[in-house]
Amino acid sequence: QVRLVESGGGLVQAGGSLRLSCAASGRTFLYAMGWFRQAPGKEREFVAAISWSGGSTYFADSVKGRFTISRDDANNIMYLQMNSLKPEDTAVYYCAATTGYTSSWYGVSSAEYRYWGRGTQVTVSS
């Protein structure tokens, strides 16, 4: 069982940056991890994912070039660095984890993840 807790959300002006953290209660080694977000009135959508090795990452087109994902397995933390934020990035951001099939595998749909955090709010003002 892995418990995930997100932090780092807040209110930022457009063009600004935030770094989200996802702290895991157990070891994250061998877990692929990802970030998803859900805006009011919209379905949860994929943002970014990272394989358990950290060697493979993938981003939604809407955040590619602005967001980076990384992990620190020694401290069981995953990060989402968000730069050049836009008002359309406003959402509750969730981290997720699941057993990775291979060292390069990551999931891009919410159905592929077993463990979820409760989310952290990110609000970008124009």
What is the rounded distance in angstroms from the CA atom of residue 27 to the CA atom of residue 1? 10
Q: Are residues 19 and 79 in contact, defined by beta-carbon separation less than 8 angstroms?
A: yes
What is the rounded distance in angstroms from the CA atom of residue 99 to the CA atom of residue 12? 33
pLDDT one-digit tens code per residue, 67-84: 999 999 999 999 999 999
pLDDT one-digit tens code per residue, 5-58: 999 999 999 999 999 999 999 787 889 999 999 999 999 999 999 999 999 999
**SS3 annotation, 42-107:** CCCEEEEEECCCCCCEEECCCCCCCEEEEEECCCCEEEEEECCCCHHHCEEEEEEEEECCCCCCCC
Task: Pick the more confident residue, 30 or 64.
Answer: 64
